[in-house]
Amino acid sequence: MNPHRISAVIGKESREILRDPITLGVAILMPLVMLFLFGYAISLDLRKAALGVLDEDRTPASRALIEHLTSNESFYLGRFLNSAREIETVLQRNQVDLVLVIPSGLQESLLRQEHPDVQILVDGTYSTTALLAAGYAENLVSSYAAAPPEGRLRLETRIWYNPSLASANYVVPGLYAVILLAFPPLLTALGVVREKETGTIQSIFASPLTSSEFIIGKLVPYSLIALLQMLMVVAVGYLWFGVPFRGSFAFLVAAGLIYVFCTVGIGLLVSTLTRTQLSAMLLALIVTLMPSFLFSGLLFPIFTMPALLQLYSGIFPGRYFVEISRGIVLKGIGIDIALTQVTVLAVYTLAVFFLASWRLRKKVA
């Protein structure tokens, strides 16, 4: 490998990118757009669910329970129901998200120190919110059911790393990984294919430049752009979304650098496999953008997936970086804990690089 030839390719590539301000602008803007859209849209918090109430007891005790449930951020009193028949109607019409049924005799049995039952019916159409709503409601009901008697075991729950359970804290660091898997390959994939379309690649083939020199020359400038994108989204995440930053910034940048080399490499690999810009773009979307949502653990924890899909998710580098970036940002972990993930990413990057160099075998057909 000849460093002068590589630097020639890097210089040429950088100039071309810088002189195409529109593409560069899109490259910088798109990740931000995505961060804002998803940072706000993907909220796993439950806010203001409408609670329907069928109160068959109508005592101070039942009113106190209703008051307890609706005097917080999570629920508001949507509707009073008069009979059990109405329950189905209001749920079908989406007038309420869940219904609290208080049978008659609540106050009496409470006074008798018994354990009376109340029922909560949840609209399970959106399973995630349903589970959350059910969980919140359950907590509230049990906290109402009088303080436990003295002397018994008392459970005290503390949530670490994300005590407010704010989804932004959870989603945004995951988005760092997803965004860097979604956009840099897209931009890069066009880089080689464009040369195929204009025919300049033939001059490259018919020159002493080796395919690995060419790939490195392309990899470096696009990775720098990707690194810039990463710094940008991390800054916005910290400053705008108020996501905490507990770990080492240097470690995040170092791990991020490996990661962007990897994702940019995937873009290059894609472009060695395709002939037109359109097919390169579609292939890049399929191998990066789509799985980056499903199989990175951004939204759905990987450990809950079926074993086969867990294995499948291992193909996509996003998964490892989601773990790294969440770990650094939320838990403040260091290289000692993230060693496995970093190693996997590094090996992955090398594999992608060699595969791309091998595919670009300096022949037109």
Q: Give contact residues for another protein (rule: CB under 8 A).
A: 2, 4-5, 7-9, 11-12, 15-16, 19-20, 198-200, 202-210, 362-365
Q: What three-state secondary structure class fits 52?
A: strand
By beta-carbon proximity to another protein, the closer residue of 95 and 207 is 207
Closest CA to 206 of 364, 11, 48: 364
Q: Measured from the CB of residue 2, what is the shortest distance to another protein in angstroms?
A: 7
What is d(CA 294, CA 308) in angstroms, rounded to the nearest whole number? 14
Q: Measured from the CB of residue 202, what is the shortest distance to another protein in angstroms?
A: 4
By beta-carbon proximity to another protein, the closer residue of 215 and 338 is 215
Where does residue 321 rank: exposed (0-12), middle (13-18), buried (19+ CB within 10 A)? buried
By beta-carbon proximity to another protein, the closer residue of 194 and 331 is 194
By beta-carbon proximity to another protein, the closer residue of 43 and 210 is 210
Phi and psi at residue 199, to the nearest 5°: 95, -5
Return the beta strands (E) in 211-251 as ranges.
none
Q: Measured from the CB of residue 8, what is the shortest distance to another protein in angstroms?
A: 3
Helix axes 3-18 and 21-41, enclosed angle (nearest 10): 80
Angle at 187 between CA 184 and CA 192, to 5 degrees: 120
Q: Measured from the CB of residue 175, what is the shortest distance to another protein in angstroms?
A: 32
Look-up: residue for tokens 């075991």? 153
187-196 per-residue burial string, b: 16 or more CB within 10 A, e: under 16 = bbbbbbbbbb
By beta-carbon proximity to another protein, the closer residue of 76 and 205 is 205
Q: What three-state secondary structure class fits 76?
A: strand
35-70 per-residue burial string, b: 16 or more CB within 10 A, e: under 16 = beebbeebeeebeebbbbbbbebebebbeebbeebb
Q: Measured from the CB of residue 19, what is the shortest distance to another protein in angstroms?
A: 4
Q: Measured from the CB of residue 15, what is the shortest distance to another protein in angstroms?
A: 6
Q: Measured from the CB of residue 211, what is the shortest distance to another protein in angstroms?
A: 10
The DSSP secondary-structure symbol of 348 reads H
By beta-carbon proximity to another protein, the closer residue of 263 and 271 is 271
By beta-carbon proximity to another protein, the closer residue of 3 and 151 is 3
